[in-house]
Structure 1
Amino acid sequence: MSSNLDVIRATYEGASEDNGRALMAALAPDAHWTEAAGFPYAGTYVGPEAIAAGVFQRLGSEWIDYHAEVHSYLADGDQVAAFGVYSGTYKATGKAMRASFAHLYRLKDGKIVSMEQVVDSAIVRAAMAHEA
């Protein structure tokens, strides 16, 4: 049986498509996924379909080479935190960014029931801003 840490690591440490499949398989049917206030995709999405459409499909269509690279994990019972750096180039502006993030996951019976994002949203929004 995989540990909670193994479940979360599998969503970051493979090829993008593998990570996406691992994430969708790990999400509980009623998982709550909260993108930080100020982030372009801010809000709480409930369920795998809403999470995929509201967050990941948008990242895939609006950014070039968008990545979330984790440098550290902390696991404590049913909680796992992942710390890292987002990077990518916003298609509409051609601007690249690198922004630090933290993701706090809560799991139950090996399934992700919630994720809360903390991110330096100003850096991401700057990459998305058109020059005046």
Structure 2
Amino acid sequence: MDDQANISLIRQCYDSFLRGDIEHLLTFMAQDIRWDLPRMEGVPYSGKRQGIDQVREFFQLLDRSQKPLEFHPGEFVAQGDHVVVFGHYEWAVKSDGREWGADFAHSFRIRNGKVSSFHEYTDTHAAVEAYRAGAGASAGQAAQPDRPSMH
């Protein structure tokens, strides 16, 4: 695939996420996908995963843990099989409503028209602090299928 086709693929991934259609999002991923977020103490969805089932689990944990307030993928940069997206997001921790936000860089690798790896770079300190502040709050709230702002 060329650079523009790879960017188009990643845009479709974000569009599926923004619609809350995780099952459709997963169709863009290789079966053996590597999914890598930094390990963040107290942040339930953080850490490394391998394969579609573990990535599905990531999105389930993300949905149970925090609500998207804003999610803005901005600049898309592609070179060969690599696409990097720079953006910004804002979240609310569901257990106590504490808000946090950060700029991010998402690095994707494409293989045979599918996402074969994902790595997130973000302000891990902001996430850890938001979850640390809510550590004493009840984490048993029911997750609602909230949708992020598409601004």
**Maintained 8 Å contact 1:93/1:129:** no
Q: TM-score, normalised by structure 1?
A: 0.86
User: Which structure 2 residues correspond to residues 7-46 of structure 1 after superposition, within 5 A?
Assistant: 7-13=9-15, 15-18=18-21, 20-38=22-40, 40=43, 41-46=45-50
Give the Cα separation in 2 of the matches to 1:59 and 1:66.
13
Give the Cα separation in 2 of the matches to 1:81 and 1:26.
16
Of 97, 101, 116, the match for 1:98:
101
User: Which structure 2 residues correspond to residues 1-132 of structure 1 after superposition, within 5 A?
Assistant: 3-13=5-15, 15-18=18-21, 20-38=22-40, 40=43, 41-53=45-57, 55-65=58-68, 67-130=70-133
| Structure 1 residue 128 displacement after superposition | 1.5
Q: Deviations over 1:22-63 (max 9, x none)?
A: 42011101010001233723322111111110x211111111
Unaligned runs of 5+ in 1: none
- Amino acid aligned to 2:88: V
**Maintained 8 Å contact 2:38/2:46:** yes
Tell me whether 95-104 or 63-72 shows the greater mean CA deviation: 63-72
Aligned positions, number: 130
**The residue matched to 1:59 in structure 2 has which SS?**
helix
Give the Cα separation in 2 of the matches to 1:117 and 1:30.
18
Unaligned runs of 5+ in 2: 137-151
| Structure 1 residue 66 displacement after superposition | 5.3
Bigger strand share: 1
Q: TM-score, normalised by structure 2?
A: 0.76
Tell me whether 67-76 or 7-16 shows the greater mean CA deviation: 7-16
- Amino acid aligned to 1:57: Q
**Maintained 8 Å contact 1:60/1:66:** no
